[in-house]
Structure 1
Amino acid sequence: MSTYKSSEQIRQSFLDFFREKGHEIVPSAPLVPQNDPTLLFTNAGMNQFKDVFLGTGSRPYKRAADTQKCLRVSGKHNDLEEVGHDTYHHTFFEMLGNWSFGDYFKREAIRWAWELLVERWGLDPDRLYATVHEGDEALGLEPDIEAAELWKTETSIDPTHIKFCPTKDNFWMMGDTGPCGPCSEIHIDLRPEEERRRLPGIALVNAGDPRVMEIWNLVFIQYNALPDGRLEPLKAKHVDTGMGLERIVAVLQGKTSNYDTDLFAPLLERAAQLSPREDVRGYDDLRIADDRERERVRVALRVVADHIRAIAFAIADGVVPGPAGRGYVIRRLLRRAVRYGYQILAFREPFLYQLVEPLAHKMGRVFPEVERHRTYIERVIRAEEESFLATLGTGLAFFERLIPYLKATAEGQPLEVVRTELLRDGPALDLLEKAYGTTDRQAAVAAFLKSAAEKNVPGELAFLLHDTYGFPVDLTQLMAREEGLGVDMAQYEALMHRQRERARAASTFGIAGLPADEEAAGWQRISDGEDSVFVGYDTTRVDKARIRAVRTLKTPEGLRYELVLDQTPFYAESGGQVGDTGLLRVGEETLHVLDTQKQTGHIVHVVDRLPAALDAPVEAVVDVARRERIQKHHTATHLLHAALREILGTHVQQKGSLVAPDRLRFDFSHFERVTPELLRRIEARVNEVIQRNVPRIEERDVPYAEAIARGAMALFGEKYGDRVRVITFDPNFSVELCGGTHVAATGELGVLRIVSEGSVASGIRRIEALAGQDALAWINRQLEELERSREQFKSLQRPLADEIAALLEEQRRLEKALAALRREQQQMRLAALVEAAHRVDGVRVVTGQLPPTSMDELRELAQALRDQLGREGVAVLGTVDPEGHKVYLAAAVTDDVVGRGLEAGRLVGEVARIVGGGGGGRPTLATAGGRMPDKLPEALQAVPRLVQQMVS
């Protein structure tokens, strides 16, 4: 067996071996693919060489080797459910690989793989097996006899250890078309000798036994798959191999689990030591008698150790946890790990971020970005943990409150029995009302039990957990699975679709244009031929356009007129840039173009009326002054994007924009507030590029792959054609794929001024800025305002800034005094309420209606009141909002009263029913609302009676 004991030695020995064989050792590509926006994460070693295999790129070397960071959490490689539960599945892993680009082929790949495994690392050849492709009649492929013979002649493998396997196991394809070829896998049998004697390992190869597993895959890329399904031989043949580091380290370190290797040990130990549980001292020091609970803890520790690697490396490569795309994948992993930590390891405070330090210590020499960005990674993770922990407990309590009813129904208890119990459970009913969006409790219970009978968590509950408490649906599925249940995903997806449609309806304008059935959409065809040819990059005027179609729509604002031309200089709103306005001259008539929009690929001009002569030539004239202001702001957006990535980091990605005549708005991924100092640096960098008057380089017909290879920014999620338009302002500064209009040189902007920066969503920041005359006008307004302020203080002796500071200090003093006065009034009010308390079955009960106040203040007052009532006390307070439309209720109950069976959530829920509402919360503190203010006195009068009924 090998003398390589540490993972560092094993990784380095692989690279050294292939360096000796003439391979260029290349660095790992980032987890975020730089040349493929259709791919969420780098998930294989070959990703960075995809262009070479496709024939669209090349490298200055013919042989390469590396260790590649990979992330597999979605699609066909999604093994998330197994992570932590078995010994070898991971979200993040390293792929050791060697490649040949038209150089060596099967002979060398097979010989060197055997040499490294057996001669260099000392693996027992009697435990190794090789698979080769058995052929495929449908693909017209014969068995890969060549590879099988090379295994016999180039290695010392036992010929009986060579196995022919089908296409699903031993043929690799990049996609439905493109480079492909047979592969040869190396498997190792790690079973005890006695088992091996009873059953030869060849029978268990590709049979699902985790002890007989693949350790290396050698892919021989020798065909090109055509659209018609045929395979044609490639002129240049390639080799692409991959070996999981975690798996081979476990083999060489003599471990039965990847988690027992030195790659995971520091993370597992730190997580165990951080756990507040007294019976968790270390990963191998669990003082837990119950076998099942001990394994639950081990699974939780393994999940945490696995997920922190994926989370930290993704953030180091520029991913910010967020609500969509890559960010949401990482947020899902983080929340999954936090849930395991909270529910099983007893964490109540952020803990994941504390694992970044041992991870950076272990991996930082090979992947320095983790050590370099360690502080940033810790801050991002900690803030995400704090955000989720704020709702996790409530969401789990919600889930756990309803689980007994789901399980009872799923296990066959009579529905009537479960229904009766559920209808007595006020807090559970409040949750169902919230989930199903109804006050009809009978209907909510019926729908709930219908899902329960199908052994499913209702989709409505999964949606509520996602929408209100931030639970990714796969986390809800995991929790349900732990209870032996599924999730009604069809209903969940329907609710998500409905929510997306509502959001789309609220954020988009207009209707579909020119469908196949034009008459049904109100379109009148005027002339035949091509339409919507955009010529606006070169001109702002067309003399003889023809009208292709028109329509008149009734909208809430009145009639809306639209027309489509054969050609147009008007830019249609897209990519954040607003649509052009201007004039259309038709004969003697002049129409005003109020907006230009893109509808199903057509450029639609929104006009103030339709012309009388629909078949007459049209002169189309863009409002040039407005267009120039727009394109200044569009160019400014590109410069701002480049400056943000340069100064804040390459994790910055555009998440949305508005390019208008009078301003720009730019949304981007960044985790924390951009400080005033950084904003000044960003603004200064943009203005430096403006002052250099950098000319625009515009390329309209560039192959997409070529543009990406040259470093052009492509937005994830955007759909690009095979040919793209590239806008460059200094090849070393700003290169973007873009369809919008721009200035000829940056000097036309004059100046850029950032006027605001803030948050629009978790992990998404927004900058608003002005360029050109709009920026100068804003600066002048600020100067005028400053001058007016100076006039107000001209008789004073101190500088203006000192006078303003003194005024602010006086304001703070007065606000502090006012707050103290309010507290004093509240104490007097509380004292009066306590005086009026009366006893119900030994419990001191206080109720009161307060002047309009916020729910937060009402909750605090209820708590304060409860704390003055002794060991057995109940406080219920109510108020009506200032508009007189809503009722707010808060109930606080002492622990001793909870022990007698009265919970605040149940009590306030019953009180809320009287005012036409509902609510709930913790046993000692709960809130509710209602919509019948006139019933509030009656509701508060009912409290003593309800207390009498509930206490035991």
Structure 2
Amino acid sequence: MCLADGCSNSNETLGPPLACHQEEPERDGHFERESGVPFSPEMTQGYADSPPMSTYKSSEQIRQSFLDFFREKGHEIVPSAPLVPQNDPTLLFTNAGMNQFKDVFLGTGTRPYRRAANTQKCLRVSGKHNDLEEVGHDTYHHTFFEMLGNWSFGDYFKREAIRWAWELLVERWGLDPDRLYVTVHEGDEALGLAPDTEAADLWKSETSIDPSHIKFCPTKDNFWMMGDTGPCGPCSEIHIDLRPDEERQRVPGITLVNADDPRVIEIWNLVFIQYNALPDGRLEPLKAKHVDTGMGLERIVAVLQGKTSNYDTDLFAPILQRAAELSPRPEVRGYDDLRVEDERERERIRVALRVVADHIRAIAFAIADGVVPGNTGRGYVIRRILRRAVRYGYQTLNFREPFLYRLVEPLAHKMGNVFPEIERHRAYVERVIRAEEESFLATLGTGLAFFERLLPYLKAAAEGRPIEAIREDLQRDSQAIDLLQKAYVDTADRKAMVEAFLKSAAEKNVPGEVAFLLHDTYGFPIDLTQLMAREEGLGVDMARYEELMQRQRERARAASTFGAVVLTADDEEAGWKRISEGEDSVFVGYDTTRVEAARIRALRTVETPHGPRHELVLDQTPFYAESGGQVGDTGVLRVGDEEIQVRDTQKLGGHIVHYVDRLPKEPDAPVEAVVDAARRKRIEKHHTATHLLHAALREILGTHVQQKGSLVAPDRLRFDFSHFERVTPELLRQIEARVNEVIQRNVPRIEERDVPFQEAIARGAMALFGEKYGDRVRVITFDPNFSMELCGGTHVAATGELGVFRIISEGSVASGIRRVEALAGQEALNWINQQLSELEQARGQFKSLQRPLDEEIALLLETQRRLEKELAALRRAQQKARLATLVEQAHRVNGLRVVTGEMEALSMDELRELVQALRDQMGREGVAVLGTTDPEKRKVYLAAAVTDDVVGRGVEAGRLVGEVARIVGGGGGGRPTLATAGGRQPEKLREALEAVPRLVQQMVG
């Protein structure tokens, strides 16, 4: 009962609706409730000649016009929610405008306003909204898009929503009413619903729409549900017919609504939430009725600007142009300025530019909202998108150096006014993207070369060429055989390896072994390998790939200290010996640190490289097993007359395993289990301090802060969190002071052990994305207005037990991930005393202090910096002095002075500064290319500059440096007067510089 596009068979409008019996093709799901996806080139064929508006409106004007319209109607204009849903672990990304109001619709939350409107950032690349593979190949799929929406929370309903939608589209924006069609729900006997004649009648009475343009459609198209149960209701979609007038007269538009015609498209969806779906399938009316609408900005901008493609609108133009300008390919001047004769190659370039332009929007906004590219969860999604963009840039646009990060600037300029976070965090976003690009580029070229080396044999076998001939060619290709041996590590026999490869290829598949090697060694996500294969008409042997991935996971687990052993009574292979029957591992440690009559359920000894490890499982235990960052308890087990030390406690397959120094002589005797209570108390202080720190970070730095990892130990705590930049000492002191203020208030712990998960989330409890929670959870609160988290760890009874809290360090552990280390209680006091002692020792190093200690140290450091600057200035002066010599040795080419030079080890910035100085020195008729190497990194840096008058003669710095870079195995580009490039063959730098006069000669003709 989810709304999707599709309804095409009914020509009737009002009165008894006809059911839509025609079977519809599977839809892409983007309009499950809101119109969020733009449209294809075919949609406006013939329509661009008669645009709906006489005056061009920019995307900024269109967006603002929508918001202004609903502000006039008494709506609160609310900010877009972040792409990372707040307190909603059920969502990977915000994918609809209603996400931030989900609690209102569920009846668990309220807002201080009853009418709202906004433009919402949305990202759809997972689940049923997975269009990543289509993005770029067509002109209407996107990863990131904006959703314009207006909401009523128990205020107005169908009448106003319908009237205002028509008023905005027709009277404010000037769309031709004769091109507009609407759909309403035809009713559903199974749900006990009659046709929504109320909405149909309102379209007739509140607007000027032609009644024949109203169409009834079934539940799958025109009834929206949040889930199997909960708020739901019928919806009314607004469609526009973009076909030429002649065709519209020949075929009525009503027959093409929801009929999958790309020129008759939905532009707005009005959802009327008026029922509550019960578990038994029945619907009951809601006391408060709501309105929830959505309109894709990219689509409506294209419609109002009369464009045939989303990418032709001003939303994408600046990014597309910058990407084209940056491309080292000289024939790529702009998205619509490609100096390429072959039409297929032209489209290939345009696809790559579209991929890059779309993906940088998703990547940049996700990072600005706290997502860091990584190997799991949201981070993995963004990494996949980024690597796809890099791959297209590498293969089609000839980028060999990071380039995506340079597209953040035009994006921020275009969208920073409405989404200020992209401008505010621009430097951070650029750093994260560049680091990811550099990391992937380091292996991308090698991985692509590997794939392309095997590709001819794969395609030959897939096309049915004689296997014998392919086998002979492959056997003679020593490089291809070497690559296969890396992939087929389990196949020692060369003949068997070749046969296995050719068998998979004959089945039109890239072997699973090849896909696994691309993933495991070269960092290619499997969907990237599938995409590359699909572009060549091939599939991937996913069964074999998954088998190899599973084996890798099992090897990783086997190598782990605490291997994944399943504890069962008859698992002799794992070494467990069953001592008694019954339930085991019941944790009672929240209430006590001692159990007097526990029973041993099972025990074993495991041989490790460090000696034997003894393990046992109890029926009940007060020992906390390591989880959630909190380390495991230690203590003693008293069995008969023995006292056995518990060295650690871990979870293993759902069981609590005690690691002990030896196994008991009488395992069937009663056990007294005693936790080291003093150590536990120190751990509890640091765990509570972690919660307070988390709350203070979100309060002072912002709600983008999300926990990314933690360690809670008796002697310290470590807390990793998402943040865009270094936390300044001033902010650290504020955070520390806030935690100490809560400690001084001695806030009591509120512990709730059996709270429904959704209720806890609705109340504002923090949940960590990626954690698995049951239907009922434990909630730990220290002041409901400050810290409330889902947590299974142990805590102090009140914050005053912490005594004092001290942050001892802050730093970066990965792109966009910061780490704070801190102390609480006696550990914090010990650290403070140590610092005071060191301060006294430092003071003692100065025989007589003329100034405060910090000023004396600052003076010494300033002296050092001054001397370093003087040394750097001398070095730059020497380099610039050499420029005059280089000019004297210039080559003469068609009246131009061509200067080249190999400089001593310099950074790219220093090299660019020198070539700029050389350009200024020459004045006119000058061309300069300088190069330098970094032998340790095996890198070449190149910088080129030409004087303004030379550009008119056909010599451009960007084109020139790109050609030179090819000789050193790289690429690059830039402006016509100044450009840079890089390469990975330092030994060819001299050859490259010697080629410059010849290249200039070719350019001036």
- The alignment's TM-score, normalised by the length of structure 1, stands at 0.77
Q: Secondary structure at the match of 2:216?
A: strand
Is the aligned partner of 1:452 residue 2:452?
no
Q: Distance in 2 between matches of 1:218 and 1:693?
A: 50
Is the aligned partner of 1:539 residue 2:595?
no
Q: Distance in 2 between matches of 1:221 and 1:793?
A: 75
1:64-103 mapped onto 2 (5 Å cutoff)? 64-103=116-155
Summarize deviations over 1:230-281 as a string: whole Å, max 9, x none.
4333333322111101101111111121111111111112212222221111
Q: Distance in 1 between matches of 2:292 and 2:191?
A: 21
Higher relative contact order (CA 8 A, sep 6+): 2
What is the root-mean-square deviation of aligned Cα atoms in Å? 4.0
- Equivalent residue for 2:219? 167
Is the aligned partner of 1:291 residue 2:356?
no
CA displacement at 1:221 relative to structure 2: 2.1
Which piece of structure 1 moves more, 697-706 or 453-462?
Answer: 697-706
Q: Secondary structure at the match of 1:620?
A: strand
- Equivalent residue for 1:130? 182
- Equivalent residue for 1:154? 206
1:28 to 68, 73, 80: 80
1:352-751 mapped onto 2 (5 Å cutoff)? 352-437=404-489, 438=491, 440-507=493-560, 509=562, 522=576, 524=578, 526=580, 532-543=585-596, 545-547=597-599, 549-552=601-604, 555-556=607-608, 557-558=611-612, 560-566=614-620, 568-585=621-638, 590-607=643-660, 619-642=672-695, 650-669=703-722, 688=740, 692=744, 694-701=746-753, 702-705=755-758, 707-709=760-762, 711-729=764-782, 734-746=787-799, 748-749=801-802
Q: Distance in 2 between matches of 1:77 and 1:310?
A: 14
Summarize deviations over 1:85-129 as a string: whole Å, max 9, x none.
222211111111122223333333223222221222221122112
Q: Secondary structure at the match of 1:82?
A: coil
Q: Secondary structure at the match of 1:337?
A: helix
Change (3 A) 1:578 1:225: same
**Contact 1:689/1:746 (8 A) holds in 2:** no
Change (3 A) 1:285 1:139: same
Q: Secondary structure at the match of 1:278?
A: coil
Structure 1, unaligned runs of 5 or more: 810-858, 865-898, 904-920, 927-952
- Equivalent residue for 1:105? 157
CA displacement at 1:283 relative to structure 2: 1.7
Change (3 A) 1:718 1:289: same
Change (3 A) 1:62 1:777: closer
CA displacement at 1:631 relative to structure 2: 1.9
- Equivalent residue for 2:913? none
Q: Distance in 2 between matches of 1:391 and 1:369?
A: 32
CA displacement at 1:611 relative to structure 2: 6.5
Q: Distance in 2 between matches of 1:429 and 1:450?
A: 16
Q: How high is the sequence identity, in percent, across the aligned residues?
A: 79
CA displacement at 1:768 relative to structure 2: 5.3
CA displacement at 1:638 relative to structure 2: 3.3
CA displacement at 1:644 relative to structure 2: 5.4
Q: Secondary structure at the match of 1:301?
A: helix
**Contact 2:696/2:739 (8 A) holds in 1:** no
Structure 2, unaligned runs of 5 or more: 1-51, 848-852, 866-933, 940-966, 970-982, 989-1005
- Equivalent residue for 1:891? none
**Contact 1:38/1:717 (8 A) holds in 2:** no
CA displacement at 1:680 relative to structure 2: 6.8
2:242 to 179, 190, 193: 190
Q: Distance in 2 between matches of 1:861 and 1:40?
A: 41
The residue type equivalent to 2:635 in the other structure is: G
- The alignment's TM-score, normalised by the length of structure 2, stands at 0.73
Q: Secondary structure at the match of 2:530?
A: helix
- Equivalent residue for 1:301? 353
Change (3 A) 1:922 1:443: farther
The residue type equivalent to 1:563 in the other structure is: V
1:883-898 mapped onto 2 (5 Å cutoff)? none
The residue type equivalent to 1:565 in the other structure is: D
Summarize deviations over 1:363-398 as a string: whole Å, max 9, x none.
111111111111211221122222222222222222
- Equivalent residue for 1:346? 398
Change (3 A) 1:313 1:547: same
Q: Distance in 1 between matches of 2:120 and 2:938?
A: 55
1:237-252 mapped onto 2 (5 Å cutoff)? 237-252=289-304
CA displacement at 1:343 relative to structure 2: 1.4
Q: Distance in 2 between matches of 1:644 and 1:25?
A: 27
- Equivalent residue for 2:14? none
Q: Distance in 2 between matches of 1:628 and 1:15?
A: 54
How many residues are aligned here? 814
Which piece of structure 1 moves more, 169-178 or 507-516?
Answer: 507-516
The residue type equivalent to 1:463 in the other structure is: F
Q: Secondary structure at the match of 1:223?
A: strand
1:755-904 mapped onto 2 (5 Å cutoff)? 764=817, 771-774=824-827
- Equivalent residue for 1:6? 58
The residue type equivalent to 2:136 in the other structure is: G
Q: Distance in 2 between matches of 1:513 and 1:23?
A: 57
Change (3 A) 1:267 1:700: same
Q: Secondary structure at the match of 1:80?
A: coil
The residue type equivalent to 2:435 in the other structure is: A
**Contact 1:690/1:751 (8 A) holds in 2:** no
Q: Distance in 2 between matches of 1:18 and 1:260?
A: 28
**Contact 2:648/2:659 (8 A) holds in 1:** yes
Change (3 A) 1:861 1:287: closer
Q: Secondary structure at the match of 2:249?
A: helix
Q: Distance in 2 between matches of 1:118 and 1:54?
A: 34
Q: Secondary structure at the match of 2:708?
A: strand
CA displacement at 1:168 relative to structure 2: 2.6
Is the aligned partner of 1:144 residue 2:163?
no
1:259-278 mapped onto 2 (5 Å cutoff)? 259-278=311-330
Change (3 A) 1:765 1:503: farther
Which piece of structure 1 moves more, 615-624 or 409-418?
Answer: 615-624
CA displacement at 1:593 relative to structure 2: 3.5
**Contact 1:318/1:650 (8 A) holds in 2:** no
Which piece of structure 1 moves more, 364-373 or 466-475?
Answer: 466-475
**Contact 2:425/2:724 (8 A) holds in 1:** no
Summarize deviations over 1:289-333 as a string: whole Å, max 9, x none.
111111111111111111111111111111111221111111111
Q: Distance in 1 between matches of 2:593 and 2:159?
A: 63
Change (3 A) 1:139 1:406: farther
Q: Distance in 2 between matches of 1:399 and 1:509?
A: 37
CA displacement at 1:414 relative to structure 2: 1.1
Change (3 A) 1:367 1:669: closer
Q: Secondary structure at the match of 1:107?
A: helix
Q: Distance in 2 between matches of 1:476 and 1:924?
A: 31
**Contact 2:558/2:564 (8 A) holds in 1:** no
